[in-house]
Amino acid sequence: MIKVEGLTKFYGDFPAIQDLTFNAKRGEILGFLGPNAAGKTTTMRILAGYMPPSSGSVRIAGFDVLEESLEVRRRIGYLPETVPLYPEMSIWEYLEYMGSLRKVDNLDKRIDAVIDEVNLGDRERSYIGNLSKGLRQRVGLAQALIHQPEVLILDEPTIGLDPAQIIEVRELIQGLGQERTILLSTHILTEAQQICDRVIIINKGRMVAEDTPENLQSQIAGATKIIVRASSETRELVELIETMPQKMDVIAGDSEGEVMISAAPGLDIRPLLARKILDAGLDLLELRTTGISLEEIFLQLTQSEDKDEGEE
């Protein structure tokens, strides 16, 4: 349904995305995860046909975005980062306007159906200017759905919403994903995990990981974070830890002498760490494990990419 190969986009000399290759099939919600400026919006605008790539190809439902752009536009619904809504129109009027631009058949019926689909039934005569951000986002979804597209491109659909609205919009998207192909961008790892069947992680325009949320989850379950404090300065303790042969990363040290370490899954590093500290003639004041958050795993994945770049 979505087939992207070697997609690259330069803004002037600056490569916003480089050599992205991925697929998504019918019924799949593919998460497109990355920090700010990773290249998510750039990629999605290209997929939706709003901008040509510098190189590479995109096929939507079998049609080439550049060569068969009309066929693609008929089959794709796009929720941009900021939806161009008209505050002085009612929801109904806005959808009528968007639907007529799309030349949708039986438009009145279709508007009723789509209003139902996004649960806006009781609000169809409300002016868009008076709607909460959560309701506006649903109107944005409704315009993306008006022509019954097979493929949906949703650019950070929950950004700026409050927690209750986030849950509503996520549930809505999950429902929409049943018989469509959805590419959904987010910078929130837990969101990708909750809604998506598969996740691609990009950073600085390049893919750094592709996995199922389950595998991400097991990565998280396996990895632990250790907090350690000894009768020494933070720096001294960090240096001591760094002489150990086991693979671990010092995440942070604070002025109180507390050092946070992340260790590879499998080996319990604590006994070795305790011995090392005592052997150095220090007192061990604290040693405990805490879970590693999704956000931290995400940071590690995207930061290791930075390191690779530095070594080139």
Interface with ligand ADP by CB under 6 A: which range of 36-44, 59-67, 126-134, 281-289? 36-44
Residue selected from 4, 29, 38, 58 as contacting ligand ADP according to rule CB under 6 A: 38
Instruction: Considering the complex, state which of residue 42 and residue 143 has its C-beta at the smaller distance from ligand ADP.
Output: 42
Distance (Å, rounded) from C-alpha 152 to C-alpha 182? 5
Q: Which does 11 bind (CB under 5 to 8 A by kind): Mg ion, ligand ADP, none?
A: ligand ADP
Q: Going residue by residue from 271 to 300, which x/- string records binding to Mg ion, judged by CB under 5 A? A: ------------------------------
Residue selected from 2, 7, 41, 154 as contacting Mg ion according to rule CB under 5 A: 41
Tell me, by CB under 6 A, how many residues bind ligand ADP: 11
Residue whose entry in the numeric block shows the structure tokens 């995860």: 33
Residue 209 and residue 34 in contact, taking contact as beta carbons nearer than 8 Å: no
Q: Going residue by residue from 41 to 80, which x/- string records binding to ligand ADP, judged by CB under 6 A? A: xx--------------------------------------
Interface with ligand ADP by CB under 6 A: which range of 35-43, 87-95, 103-111, 175-183? 35-43
E strand spans, the chain? 2-11, 14-24, 29-33, 55-60, 63-64, 76-79, 151-155, 181-186, 198-203, 206-211, 224-230, 248-253, 258-263, 284-291
Question: Does the footprint of ligand ADP cover residue 11 (CB under 6 A)?
Answer: yes
Interface with ligand ADP by CB under 6 A: which range of 34-42, 86-94, 122-130, 268-276? 34-42
Instruction: Considering the complex, state which of residue 158 and residue 262 has its C-beta at the smaller distance from ligand ADP.
Output: 158
Residue 263 and residue 272 in contact, taking contact as beta carbons nearer than 8 Å: no
**Residues 6 or more apart whose Cβ sits within 8 Å of residue 308:** none
**Residues 6 or more apart whose Cβ sits within 8 Å of residue 288:** 226, 227
Question: Does the footprint of Mg ion cover residue 43 (CB under 5 A)?
Answer: no
Burial of 279 (C-beta count, 10 Å sphere; 0-12/13-18/19+): exposed
Q: Strand order in 63-64's β-sheet? A: 14-24, 2-11, 55-60, 63-64
Interface with ligand ADP by CB under 6 A: which range of 31-39, 99-107, 140-148, 193-201? 31-39
Give me the DSSP letters along 245-309. Answer: SS-EEEEEE-TTSEEEEEE-SS---HHHHHHHHHHTTPPEEEEEEEEPPHHHHHHHHHHHHHHHH
Smallest distance from ligand ADP to CB 156, Å = 7
Report the chain's terminal Cα–Cα distance, integer Å.
36
Question: Does the footprint of Mg ion cover residue 158 (CB under 5 A)?
Answer: no
Residue selected from 1, 7, 16, 98 as contacting ligand ADP according to rule CB under 6 A: 16
Question: Does the footprint of ligand ADP cover residue 206 (CB under 6 A)?
Answer: no
Residue type, position 37, single letter: A
Binding to ligand ADP, residues 219-248 (CB under 6 A) = none
Question: Does the footprint of ligand ADP cover residue 149 (CB under 6 A)?
Answer: no
Question: Does the footprint of Mg ion cover residue 186 (CB under 5 A)?
Answer: no
Distance (Å, rounded) from C-alpha 149 to C-alpha 72? 9
Interface with ligand ADP by CB under 6 A: which range of 10-18, 66-74, 232-240, 261-269? 10-18
Site of interaction with ligand ADP (CB under 6 A) = 11, 14, 16, 34, 36-42
